[in-house]
Amino acid sequence: MAVDEELHAALRRHLAGRPDITEKRMFGGSGFMWRGNLLCGVMGDELLVRLDKTTAAALVGEDGAHPMVMGGRSSAGWMLVPMPPAERERRFTTWVGRATSYVQTLPPKESAPADTRHG
């Protein structure tokens, strides 16, 4: 699945100014890492966010959000959110904020060298 490069660039701009965020190509898409944990990314033409399983289940349907499915299996806690251009900034703020709230509860991990550092 090809990454929507316009959406990817918009997410990169949204995260600009956060030197603690690194970018990494993964899952046929692009991911942004925080403290060594995947925070968010782009898969196809949707925003990928990491949430705790309970929150993710409660948010299915909001803004069209749905669980990520890879290899025919749903991944609890990994959500995909459609990103129409007119809604991007609001959805980035909302969904990346939710992902940040969850990922900050995870222990930092050592990560492999990233492709890009933002700042």
Please report the pLDDT score of residue 113 as a whole number. Answer: 52
Contact 46, 59 (CB under 8 A): no
Report yes or no on whether pTM surpasses 0.95. no
CA distance 71 to 74: 8
What is the average pLDDT value for the chain, to the nearest integer? Answer: 89
Instruction: Render pLDDT for 42-62 as a digit per residue (tens, 0 to 9).
Output: 999 999 999 999 999 999 999
What pLDDT, on the 0 to 100 scale, is given for residue 74? 80
- If pLDDT is split at 50, 70 and 90, which confidence band does 70 have? confident
With 70 as the cut, is the pLDDT of residue 109 above it? yes
Q: Examine the pLDDT at 117 and tell me if it is beyond 90.
A: no
What's the confidence (pLDDT) of residue 68? 92
Written as one string, the DSSP assignment of 28-91 is: TEEEEEETTEEEEEEETTEEEEE--HHHHHHHTTGGG-EEEEETTEEEEEEEEEE--GGGHHHH
pLDDT of residue 13: 95
pLDDT classification of 119: cutoffs 50, 70, 90? very low
Residues 84, 4: contact at Cβ < 8 Å? Answer: no
Per-residue pLDDT, 111: 52
**Domains of the chain with bracketed CATH:** 5-106 (3.90.1150.30)
